[in-house]
Amino acid sequence: MSNITNTQATSTRAPAVNIDPLVVVEIAIEAGRRIIEIYKTDFKVEHKEDDSPLTQADLQANRIIKDGLARLTPEIPILSEESLVPWEVRRQWQTLWVVDPLDGTKEFVNRTDEFTVNIALVKDKKPILGVVHAPALNVTYFATVGGGAFKIVDNAAPVKIQALPRSASGPVKVVGSRSHQSTAMAEYIDNLTKARGRVDFIKSGSALKFCLVADGTADMYPRLAPTSEWDSAAGHIVVNESGKTVHQYGRAVELVYNKEDLLNPWFICS
């Protein structure tokens, strides 16, 4: 355990909602340490069938997280970007972990430092616990349903965070992807600029975009490009507990998880 907390894990048979989020933070930090060890080397980059990058950091962090969660909650199954599970099996799951062991592999490869470890606990299709850890920045965000959202910087004590209140007019701070721009996003920003007079665009990678809305750095995060459930689940609960929502683009409907199709619809954190 690091010096963040002396909190001990609850019983492995405790109900999912009683899991201490700081124990999950420790698992994310352990994975992050291994990621940074590889980050400092001349690592090799492979590619998946969809041409997205894959490194040993993804695979080794995945193993660390799965081992840690299996010890903590052996009764809860795990869905990870690096170890997918068929829908025929997942459809029976009411509670599951949703994991991205290295969100922002492109940022990792390009050495921007803006990559994260994402761990979320989903119950009845909604995230109820989430951890987003940025190991190169030594920043961690976490939240539990009804328990608030928190930020840890440089292993200091957790500090509660709050999103900015919604403003109907005036300049707006928008956070968007550093590596995945789209024509739809460009059009959205252009229309928003016309409506609000000025848009300050903040580029960021990985699930940090959710967290920048949650801690008040940005007003909103529109995502008008493809993402998967493991990209959003942990950041989703952090945003919710900070006072904002993650809803489908053009619809007042929140994202849901453990769907047959693991791709998310377009969404906006606002």
pLDDT tens-digit series, residues 245-265: 999 999 989 999 999 999 999
> CATH no. for residue 139?
3.30.540.10
What is the extent of the structural domain holding 95? 16-160
Question: Are 154 and 31 contained in the same domain?
Answer: yes
Question: Are 151 and 176 contained in the same domain?
Answer: no
pLDDT higher than threshold 90 for residue 30 = yes
Q: Establish if 2 belongs to a structural domain.
A: no
The Cα 158–Cα 152 span in angstroms is 5
Question: Are 88 and 150 contained in the same domain?
Answer: yes
Question: Are 262 and 217 contained in the same domain?
Answer: yes
Percentage, residues of the chain above pLDDT 70: 93
Residue 136: phi and psi, rounded to 5, are -75, -25
Question: Are 127 and 201 contained in the same domain?
Answer: no
Predicted local confidence at residue 182, as pLDDT: 82
Question: Are 47 and 143 contained in the same domain?
Answer: yes
The Cα 139–Cα 78 span in angstroms is 24
The Cα 42–Cα 147 span in angstroms is 41
Q: Establish if 40 belongs to a structural domain.
A: yes
Chain segment 133-150, per-residue pLDDT in tens: 999 999 999 999 999 999
The SS3 assignment for 211 reads helix
Question: Are 118 and 179 contained in the same domain?
Answer: no
Chain segment 73-124, per-residue pLDDT in tens: 999 999 999 999 999 999 999 999 999 999 999 999 999 999 999 999 999 9
Q: Average pLDDT, stretch 63-69?
A: 98
Q: How far is CA 24 from CA 9, 29, 34, 144, 205, in A?
A: 9, 9, 16, 11, 22
Question: Are 129 and 216 contained in the same domain?
Answer: no
Q: Examine the fold and report which residue of 129, 160, 191 is the final residue of a domain before the chain moves on.
A: 160
